[in-house]
Structure 1
Amino acid sequence: MSTLVQNLLPPRLGAGFRWLAASSWSTNLGDGIAAAAGPLLVASLTDGPFLISMAALLTWAPPLLFGLYAGVLSDRYDRRRIVLAANALRLVVLFAMVVGLSTGRLTVASALLGLGLISTAEVFADNTTGTLAPMLVHRDDLGLANTRLQAGFITLNQLAGPPIGAALFAAGRVWPFATEVLLVAAGMLLISRVRLPPHGRRAAGPGTTTGVRREIAEGFRWVLHHPPVRTLCLTILVFNVTFGAAWSVLVLYASDRLGLGEIGFGLITTVSAVGGMLGTGAYGWLTARFSLGNLMRTGLVIEVLVHLTLAATSSPWIAMPIFFVFGGYAFVWGTISTTVRQRAVPEHLQGRVNGVNTICVYGGLVVGSAFGGTLATHYGVAAPFWVAFAGSAVFVAVLWKSLADIAHGR
């Protein structure tokens, strides 16, 4: 066991990062369980399509509404305490839902309120957790540290969590949420063991709206005046618009275009996650042999070709390997972009720049999803993939020369 820990979390990453990784893995498993159990819970309480769709909306809205403010708080105050406070809120809400389910008094309105509060607390926990690795790990080891965190996200949040959540829900509606209570509590205990260097500051008038606006503006100004990070955020925004347009109709694409049905749609997610696991193993080998700039260029070209191939094919035998490749690419590119951003951003601005990045991620997905749904309605389920191909190809051509500078933070 000690040898496995040594290989997975080398001593040079430090004891603090080991506690951070263990906490992240625990809460990621809980989040994966909730990703399946939350919608199933709402669907068990109502058959109204609008209320059921609200469960999905409540996972997208909080990052857009609170991402920037979460960044301000994580730059002002003790980051470990913020993570603990956010997870404590999740724990209280989950416990209340468990009690409601156990007594038969949980209504659809209270379930939606609970899911919304949990998603909101998760925004603050995730934003702040994203600032901790640069405080605990040497700059040169950030890539390795991020692969370990991302590996936990893929294997526990995406692969293991959802089927466990569905199985627990089938055994009884209360069980997935009771399990998440235990996992969040474990995550809190583990993160409490982390010791951070001195950080945080109380800005003048921290409770005032003006102070919050000023600090958010400072984060935006830093991004705008730092060309590599500015271009990186713009890339994430544009590519999430094209990605969101195509992936918003993925369930229809799987059933109508590939003829796979509901089981096949779940298989797509699994295949992509397995590709992500391959990317986890290959990340160190790739970064040791190729420059980050070339890897970023190659990754964006892969995404362009993914959209093109999926737009053109109707064969699941072609599409499935493409989803596998896409999963591997998405992990490697996401890890590189996170590492580049963490290396470039000053410690006291990490939270606010994370907030700007969050707005780009979710803003792009929301816009893309609305665009993709409209295209599919009027022009067929393949149309969003064709548009995603064209849009991403144009942007890669425009961005091509700048990617090397982005990767090296110049």
Structure 2
Amino acid sequence: MSEPSSLGPNYRKLFGSAVAANLGDGLMSIALVWLASAVTRDALLIALIGVAGRLPWLIVSLPAGVISDRFDRRKLVAWMDVCRFVVVTALGLLVLAHQADLPTPEQLAAGAAEPAGGAVLLTALGLASFLLGCAEVLRDNTAQTLMPALVDKAQLERANGRLWAAETTMNSFVGPPLAGVLITVGLALPFLINAGLLAVSAAMVFALAGTFTAQSSMERSPRIDFKGEIAEGFGWLWNHRLIRTLAILLGLLNMLSNVALVNGVLYAQDVLGLYQGWQFGLVTTGFAVGAVAGSLTAATVSARLSPGVTLIVSITGMGGCLLLMGLAPSALLFWACAVAEGVFVVLWNVITVSLRQRLIPDHLLGRVNSVYRFFGWGTIAIGTVLGGALVNLGQPWLGRGWALRTVFLLAGAAHLALIGYAATRVNTDRIRAAEAAAAVEQQASS
């Protein structure tokens, strides 16, 4: 099992940057929704905050791919961390100014009046979520194009798996419970600490040695033809049957899972009775435990089961876990289901990310990735608003608790309905054929 140190100094720097940035993201994952739940109990309003952060995947992802293939990818990643640092610092200072006036979510649920400055905070939260989402789109799309320049293609699953493990540990295992503790001290603390972590992340990416500009960008006109270059990336993806199918599947899976998970903070509070920040942070660590296990074992599992079988098992497992989470009678069972969900999600991610890095030509990697993520992540905004709306519509008929449970049940059942579509299109034979064809094309062009 290779450690980060055996994959080279540049990989270590990227690894360190990922640890810092994802610890900050883990803090924010709790702080943002907890702040929203301290201002309003409306499921749709809370969902709209999530939508604001996901809209950039529909608006910015396609031009972001063109930019990734045009400019130094190292600098793009680092400067997006700088932009996020500015936004998070400003939001943290605003929260610091208002935090003394905020009721607890439990007080709001018991009928306390919403805070006088709530509208200002919700507006700022929505704007910050949108700006952070824009920076995240360009940063994350570009960061995935760095990996093939840092490690050998034969090591991609291992390198991606180690990176996923570190990112998930920080993002979902260390960050959320730490944020829960920090919230009890001061709601502004997770935001301000995240700002410092983003500064560290930017510095480590700036320190990467080498050239990280796609070779073909040197031959293009200085004037960017966004329409033509986006069309080139879109055309490549749409004509590649395997990558096209994976993009469609990812879009459907992300939309469905977010129908349920956007209501996670309200589910934890109103169904499971977890009204303390540290309790919510702790229950979210279930996903992280599973994700770390999935990250560290993805290469082995894929080799033993084959990639195609592993992907089908992942879809089945994700659907089954969402069904069980919707029926969970206790926080402990909910946490256990989240552990299994984390394993299946990361198995899917490690295999499909490594496939894209192996199959897509380097000069198109940024653009094709952006089109892929447009399909795969743009639907999150749809699922997010749909989840909030379904809870609000179902509550008068089902009651608060069963309205929150029903979105998990619907999402889980819909996952299982996708198995037949996926089984005939992403099997191992098609994956191996696509890898062989890509190897021939790369050899011919070298």
TM-score range, shorter chain: 0.7 to 0.9
1:326 alignment counterpart: 341
1:88 is matched with which residue?
A: 82
Partner Cα distance (1:173, 1:184) in 2: 18
Q: What is residue 22 of structure 2 aligned with on the other side?
A: 28
- Match runs of 1:43-58 below 5 Å: 55-58=49-52
Contact 2:55–2:381 (Cα < 8 Å) also in 1: no
Change (3 A) 1:48 1:298: closer
Q: SS of the counterpart of 1:245?
A: helix
* Matching of residue 188 in structure 1 with residue 202 in structure 2: yes
Query: Which stretch has the larger CA shift, 116-125 or 16-25?
Result: 116-125
Quickly say closer, same or farther: Cα 1:112–1:296, change in 2 above 3 A.
closer
Contact 1:77–1:199 (CA<8 Å) still a contact in 2? yes
Measure how far apart 1:287 and its partner are. 3.1
Cα drift, residue 339 of structure 1: 0.8
CA distance in 2, matches of 1:313, 1:102: 36
Kindly indicate whether the alpha-carbon contact (under 8 Å) linking 2:49 and 2:125 is maintained by their aligned counterparts in 1: no
- 1:53 and 1:400 mapped to 2: Cα distance? 32
RMSD over aligned Cα, in angstroms?
3.3
Q: Could you tell me which residue of structure 1 aligns to residue 424 of structure 2?
A: 401
Per-residue deviation, 1:43: 6.8
Q: Secondary structure at the match of 1:408?
A: helix
Residue 227 (structure 1) aligns with = 241
Question: How far does the alpha carbon of each residue in 1:115-156 deviate from its partner, in whole angstroms, 9 at most, with x for none?
Answer: 433332222211111111111111111101111111122111
Task: Report the AA paired with residue 21 of structure 2.
Answer: T
Amino acid at match of 1:398: Y
Residue 65 (structure 1) aligns with: 59
Give me the whole-angstrom Cα distance separating, in 1, the residues matched to 2:18 and 2:77.
11
Instruction: Give, in whole Å, the separation in 2 of the partners of 1:328 and 1:183.
Output: 27
Indicate if the aligned counterparts of 1:308 and 1:385 stay in contact, CA closer than 8 A: yes
**Structure 1 residues 93-112: aligned runs within 5 Å:** 93-97=87-91, 108=121, 112=126
- Of 328-337 and 305-314, more deviation after overlay is shown by 305-314
Equivalent position of 1:204 in the other structure: 221
**Aligned match of 1:275:** 290
Equivalences, count: 399
Q: Which residue number corresponds to residue 8 of structure 1?
A: 3
User: Shift of residue 227 of structure 1?
Assistant: 0.8
* Compared CA separation, residues 31 and 307, structure 1 to 2 (3 A): closer
Structure 2 distance, partners of 1:252, 1:99, is 26
Q: Which residue of structure 2 aligns with residue 155 of structure 1? A: 169
1:356 Cα deviation (Å)? 1.8
CA distance, structure 1, for counterparts of residue 135 and residue 212 of structure 2: 24
d(CA) in 1 for partners of 2:326, 2:205: 44
Counterpart of 1:350?
365
Query: Partner amino acid for 2:131?
Result: L
Q: Distance in 2 between matches of 1:312 and 1:117?
A: 36
Partners of 2:125 and 2:324 in 1: how far apart?
A: 40
Alpha-carbon spacing, 1:182–1:406, altered in 2? closer, same or farther (3 Å): farther
The aligned counterpart of 2:440 is none
Report the counterpart of residue 177 of structure 1 in structure 2.
191
Deviations 1:220-248 (A, max 9, x none): 11110011101110111122232223334
- How far apart are the structure 2 equivalents of 1:230 and 1:118? 28
User: Is the CA contact 2:31–2:190 (under 8 Å) kept in the aligned structure 1?
Assistant: yes
SS of structure 2 residue aligned to 1:130: helix
Distance 1:308 1:158 in 2: 21
Matched, 1:361 2:376: yes
Contact 2:79 2:202 in 1 (8 A): no
CA-CA distance at 1:361 after TM superposition: 2.8
Give 1:37 shift: 3.1
User: C-alpha distance in 2, partners of 1:390/1:63?
Assistant: 26
**Percent identity of the aligned residues?**
29
- Higher mean C-alpha deviation, range 316-325 or range 22-31: 316-325
Q: Which residue of 2 aligns with 1:139?
A: 153
1:77 shift after superposition: 0.8
Q: Which residue in 2 is equivalent to 1:303?
A: 318
Cα deviation, 1:293-347, whole Å, max 9, x if unaligned, reads 2211221222233344445665666554332211111111111111111111111
Q: What residue is the counterpart of 1:3 in the other structure?
A: none
Q: CA separation in 2, counterparts of 1:270 and 1:166?
A: 11
Separation in 1 of the partners of 2:41 and 2:410?
Answer: 32
Q: What is residue 236 of structure 1 aligned with on the other side?
A: 250
- 1:136, 1:196 within 8 Å by CA — same for their partners in 2? no
Sort the Cα spacing of 1:190 and 1:271 in 2 relative to 1 into closer, same or farther, 3 A: same
1:272 and 1:326 in contact (8 A); partners too? yes
Shift of 1:53: 5.8
Of the structure 1 ranges 155-164 and 303-312, higher mean CA displacement relative to structure 2 is found in 303-312
SS of 1:59 mapped into structure 2: helix
Whole-Å separation in 1 of the counterparts to 2:213 and 2:5: 25
Structure-to-structure mapping, 1:257-272, within 5 angstroms? 259-262=272-275, 266-272=281-287
Could you tell me which amino acid in structure 1 is paired with residue 221 of structure 2? A
> Secondary structure of 2:284's partner?
helix
Give the TM-score taking structure 1 as reference length: 0.84
Aligned equivalents of 1:101, 1:321: Cα separation in 2 = 33
Alignment CA distance shift 1:148-1:213 (3 Å): same
Query: How far apart are the structure 2 equivalents of 1:355 and 1:90?
Result: 20
**Which structure 2 segments of 5+ residues have no match?**
100-116, 435-446
Unaligned runs of 5+ in 1: 1-5
Is 1:216 equivalent to 2:230 in the alignment?
A: yes
Measured in 2, the distance between the counterparts of 1:180 and 1:310 equals 30
What is the Cα deviation at residue 372 of structure 1?
3.9
Q: Tell me, in whole angstroms, the C-alpha distance in 1 between the residues paired with 2:145 and 2:60.
A: 16
> Within 2, Cα distance between the matches of 1:346 and 1:361?
20
Partner of residue 12 from structure 2, selected from 9, 12, 18: 18
Instruction: Answer whether contact 1:303 1:326 (CA < 8 A) is retained.
Output: yes
Supply the AA of the counterpart residue of 2:244: R
Q: Which amino acid aligns with 2:318?
A: E
